[in-house]
Structure 1
């Protein structure tokens, strides 16, 4: 299986977290909802998972392993 570059994973996780924070601050506009769906899909594809929670866990584990190694 191909593994995404850590910089790509780091950017995707940061984008997801930023969009979630924006969604908590105000009502979710259609554009914000679409961007959240897009980054969720991309995280899942990039990590080879089907659920957001698994994608985030896989991305964070890969980033931790990269930082430690």
Structure 2
């Protein structure tokens, strides 16, 4: 499996969580579309089919990358 670049993945996770909290102030329809697009990209980037699994895998991947960088 290809691994996404950690900077890209971190931004993707942050954008998804911000959209969940509606920090971008989008209207309901635009927000739903943004969430769908981000969830899809997270799933593709992590090789999953469920956004919860994608977030979990992204967090584990980013954690391991941070540990590796600190070594």
Give TM-score, length-normalised by structure 1. 0.90
Structure 1 residue aligned with 2:4: 4
* 1:20 lines up with 2:10 in the alignment: no
Structure 2 residue aligned with 1:38: 37
Structure 1 residue aligned with 2:28: 29
Distance 1:8 1:53 in 2: 18
Unpaired stretches in structure 2, ≥5 consecutive residues: none
Question: Runs of at least 4 residues of structure 1 off by over 6 A?
Answer: none
Q: CA deviation at 1:38?
A: 0.2
Q: How many residues align?
A: 67
Alignment root-mean-square deviation, CA: 1.7
Q: CA deviation at 1:29?
A: 1.0
Distance 2:60 2:9 in 1: 10
Unpaired stretches in structure 1, ≥5 consecutive residues: none
